[in-house]
Amino acid sequence: MADGNSETKSSNQMWGGRFASGPDAIMEEINASIGFDKKLYAQDIRGSIAHATMLSHQGIISAEDKDKIVHGLNTILSEIESGQFEFSRRLEDIHMNIEARLATLIGPAAGRLHTARSRNDQVALDFRLWVKEELQRTEKALTGLIAAFLDRAEEHAETVMPGFTHLQTAQPVTFGHHCMAYVEMFGRDRSRVRHAIEHMDESPIGAAALAGTGFPIDRHMTASALGFAGPTRNSIDTVSDRDFALEFLSIAAIAATHLSRLAEEIVIWSTPQFGFIRLSDAFSTGSSIMPQKKNPDAAELVRAKTGRINGSLIALLTVMKGLPLAYSKDMQEDKEQVFDAAESLELAVAAMTGMVRDMTIRADRMKAAAGSGYSTATDLADWLVREAGLPFRDAHHVTGRAVALAEQKACDLADLTLEDLQSIHPQITAKVFDVLTVEASVASRTSFGGTAPNEVRKQIAWWRARN
Burial of 75 from C-beta contacts in 10 A (0-12 / 13-18 / 19+) = middle
- The site for ligand ARG, by CB under 6 A, has a size of 10
Cα angle 147, 361, 286 (rounded to 5 degrees) comes to: 105
Does residue 192 touch ligand ARG according to CB under 6 A? no
Among positions 56, 138, 159, 332, the unique one binding ligand ARG when judged by CB under 6 A: 332
Comparing CB distances to ligand ARG, the nearer of 291 and 322 is: 322
Handedness of CA 448, 449, 450, 452 (dihedral sign): positive
Residue 166 annotated in active site: yes
Q: How far is the CB of 134 from ligand ARG (least distance, A)?
A: 17
The whole-angstrom separation of Cα 124 and Cα 137 is 20
Given a contact cutoff of 8 angstroms between Cβ atoms, the answer to whether 333 and 294 are in contact is no
The stretch among 75-83, 106-114, 305-313, 326-334 that binds ligand ARG (CB under 6 A) is 326-334
Which of 82, 166, 288, 447 is catalytic? The answer is 166
**93-132: which residues touch ligand ARG (CB under 6 A)?**
93, 119-120, 123
Residue 126: closest CA among 343, 331, 347, 340: 331
Q: Can you state the angle between helices 41-57 and 94-106, rounded to 10 degrees? A: 60
Binding track over 30-49 against ligand ARG, x by CB under 6 A: ---x---x------------
d(CA 282, CA 354): 9
Nearer to ligand ARG, 139 or 243 (CB): 243
What Å distances lie between residue 165 and 46, 169, 172, 203, CA to CA? 52, 7, 11, 47
* CB contact at 8 A, 1 and 87: yes
The 303-322 site mask, x for binding ligand ARG (CB under 6 A), equals --------------------
Exposure pattern of 152-162 as b/e (b: 16+ CB <10 Å)?
A: bbbebbbbbbb
Cβ proximity to ligand ARG, 323 vs 368, nearer residue:
323
* Catalytic residue chosen out of the listed positions 10, 62, 287, 372: 287
Question: Shortest distance, CB of residue 93 to ligand ARG, whole angstroms?
Answer: 4
* Per-position DSSP letters for 51-90, written without gaps between them: HHHHHHHTTSS-HHHHHHHHHHHHHHHHHHHTT-----GG
Sole window of 156-164, 216-224, 291-299, 323-331 interacting with ligand ARG (rule: CB under 6 A): 323-331
Segment interacting with ligand ARG (CB under 6 A) among 2-10, 67-75, 325-333, 337-345: 325-333
Task: Catalogue the active-site residues.
Answer: 166, 287
Q: Which residues bind ligand ARG (CB under 6 A)?
A: 33, 37, 93, 119-120, 123, 327, 329, 331-332
